[in-house]
Structure 1
Amino acid sequence: MDIAFAFDEAYADHAQVAVESVLDSHPGPDEITFWLLAPAQVAKEREPALRRQLAGRARLRLLTTGDDFRALPVVDEDWLAYVSTGMYLRLLLPELIGDQARRLLYLDVDVHVCGDLTPLWQVDLGDAPLAAVRDAFTARFDTHGGVPGAGPEHDPAAPYFNSGVLLMNLPVWRRERVSARCLEYLAAHAGRLRFPDQDALNLVAYGRWLRLPHRWNNMRSFVLEEQPGPDVRIMHFAGPRKPWTEGFRPGFRLDRHRALAAKVAAFA
């Protein structure tokens, strides 16, 4: 099972906790390879602790990149202040990994894996470049004013996915130039961006992506923090409220985050 995280210094402190949540939930026997992408300096600083954490538990493939991604456009809005240009690093993964893997499960750093990922890993992608979950707060193309750059060929009622969990079909992704076309979109609409990487991916993969059940990217932690609720395999703390920020509701999810963070601290 090939699982990827990508992060800059803004989220580096939390990457190991997300990794630990995977290991804490994985029943085996499938071996896990973690593909971790970070700027060169961040990777250098984190590598010793990561190797201690994963020793005898999973394989580590540490990927590095320069700082070109920092020049990509961002949305200058207070409500998106928690988002950094590190969001674009996921677009670099398919080319950096190349033919070393045929599929890749990409996860945002602000997730907790809560159960066995094997059924997700085994999903038949067919000829789709990716599989994803419909966004809990931006369910359609026309929600929140619509996707900048959408044309008459895009149905306003078409489902819109969240990019925090992506099961990537790497050969198809590269064949269809998904990353390159996303970067072209960002350059063309730099002054009009809304959810930059996510809008780009939704336009490029329009009509071609495979929809997954919400258990694989549940974004409603605010109603599921006090009790387990439905079968949630990946809890995504989307938005500004995270388990490590002030105001996160006390409950079993906060308790688990603290327990995972304590395990990670032992590898520092």
Structure 2
Amino acid sequence: MNRISIVFASDDNYAQHLAVACASILKNAAHPEKICFYILSDNIFPENQNRIVQTVHDLKGGVQFISVNSDDIKGFTSDHISKAAYLRLTIDQVLPETITKVIYFDTDLVVLDDVEKLWNLSLDGKPLGAACDFGIMKSKRMRQQKFESLGLPEGTPYFNSGVLVMDLHQWRQKKYGNLVIDNVTKHAFRHHDQDGLNKVFMNNWKNIPLRWNVIPPVFMMSLKVLCRTSLRIKALEAIKSPAVFHWAGRYKPWEFSLNGPFNQLYYDYLHWTSFKNSPMPKPSADMQGKSIMRQNLRMEWAAFWQNILG
């Protein structure tokens, strides 16, 4: 049986959200028994590891934990990004060498289609597959910033690092992970390892369909996306049939009680995990008292334009 190797990296704070992502993958897989999760665990507590294992096994998947320590990784950090964000860059080093291909997912997302479809997409010989980041592509100011900091020419795609298909044979051969970390450490990029990945893999990555990483500027159909024809067409196509719904950005679904389309999917898949009876919501300190009304309104706006233009 051909195994599908999927990697997450998490500390204990994100253990529940990792379980939700795993549940979404397994519930939408035609063959969940093919899926093996490799969890890069930065001190996930044993009780939460057990709850993740129970979730995965109940849904017919396999799981293995690999202990890592983000403190051992050098890399530029800021108030919003910790060194744990760099753990994805060690995948080629910490996974068994017999594993030559993986899909990496961030923990703030759910998968809504059979992940085997993503697994079977050809990388056309490239070491990395990813989807465009419309949060960057829609903004003239951010595109200019990426030209100045990365040398990314105007019109050249910039990808989001929350969903990556990785050819580990090439990563090990070229030591890509270390190259990215070295670039980020040297240049203190604004978007940290995501900028570093875009720098190192410039013109050497496969652009996968946008539906495999639908982030807020797409599922909320931001005005700058709506007004750029090339982006609007792709965004409308992606939100018609999203395969990955990714809460990239500051607002996270678990920080609010179930309330409308912004966090409905998170609660749907939480029900299938061993964390389903955990106290909710889980707001961080700076989100106390905030609401997701604006996010829900933006999603209604997106639905309106999808009906008009789709």
TM range (shorter): 0.7 to 0.9
User: Which residues of 2 match residues 111-130 of structure 1 at below 5 A?
Assistant: 111-130=109-128
- Do structure 1's residue 237 and structure 2's residue 247 form an aligned pair? yes
Provide Cα deviations, 1:39-62, integer angstroms capped at 9, x if missing partner.
1x3153422112222226111111
Deviation at 1:36, TM superposition (A): 0.7
Which amino acid in structure 2 is aligned with residue 170 of structure 1? L
Change in 2 beyond 3 A, CA 1:162/1:67: closer
- Do structure 1's residue 65 and structure 2's residue 68 form an aligned pair? yes
SS at structure 2 position matched to 1:99: coil
Provide Cα deviations, 1:90-136, integer angstroms capped at 9, x if missing partner.
11111111423111000000111011122211112232110000101
Provide Cα deviations, 1:188-242, integer angstroms capped at 9, x if missing partner.
123xx21001000001111110001111101133359xxx941111111111112
Q: Matched residues in 2 for 1:216 and 1:18: separation?
A: 14
Provide Cα deviations, 1:165-188, integer angstroms capped at 9, x if missing partner.
000011011112110101111221
Identical aligned pairs, as a percentage? 27
Name the residue aligned to 2:146: 146
SS at structure 1 position matched to 2:253: coil
Q: Matched residues in 1 for 2:49 and 2:90: separation?
A: 20
Name the residue aligned to 1:212: 208
Which one of the candidate residues 3, 6, 9 is aligned to 2:6? 3
Name the residue aligned to 1:260: 269
Q: Matched residues in 2 for 1:147 and 1:184: separation?
A: 19
Q: Matched residues in 2 for 1:19 and 1:199: separation?
A: 27
Which one of the candidate residues 172, 177, 180 is aligned to 2:178? 180
Structure 1 residue runs without a partner (length 5+): none
Q: Matched residues in 1 for 2:174 and 2:161: separation?
A: 18
Which amino acid in structure 1 is aligned with residue 167 of structure 2? N
Higher mean alpha-carbon deviation, 121-130 vs 47-56, is at: 47-56
TM-score, normalising length: structure 2:
0.74
Deviation at 1:86, TM superposition (A): 1.9
Contact 1:147–1:199 under 8 Å retained in 2: no
Q: Matched residues in 1 for 2:46 and 2:197: separation?
A: 30
Which one of the candidate residues 32, 47, 50 is aligned to 1:48? 50
Q: Matched residues in 1 for 2:53 and 2:150: separation?
A: 44
Q: Matched residues in 2 for 1:203 and 1:43: separation?
A: 35
- Do structure 1's residue 34 and structure 2's residue 37 form an aligned pair? yes
Name the residue aligned to 2:168: 170
Change in 2 beyond 3 A, CA 1:108/1:67: closer
Structure with the larger RCO, 1 or 2 (CA within 8 Å, 6+ apart)? 1
Change in 2 beyond 3 A, CA 1:146/1:223: closer
SS at structure 1 position matched to 2:129: strand
Change in 2 beyond 3 A, CA 1:176/1:267: farther
SS at structure 1 position matched to 2:102: strand
Would you tell me which structure has more helix in proportion to its own residues?
2
Structure 2 residue runs without a partner (length 5+): 223-237, 279-310
Q: RMSD between aligned alpha carbons?
A: 2.6
Query: Number of matched residues?
Result: 254
- Do structure 1's residue 100 and structure 2's residue 102 form an aligned pair? no
- Rg larger in structure: 2
TM-score, normalising length: structure 1:
0.85
Which amino acid in structure 1 is aligned with residue 191 of structure 2? F
Change in 2 beyond 3 A, CA 1:88/1:96: same
Deviation at 1:156, TM superposition (A): 3.4
Change in 2 beyond 3 A, CA 1:209/1:255: same
Name the residue aligned to 2:225: none
Q: Matched residues in 1 for 2:70 and 2:150: separation?
A: 29
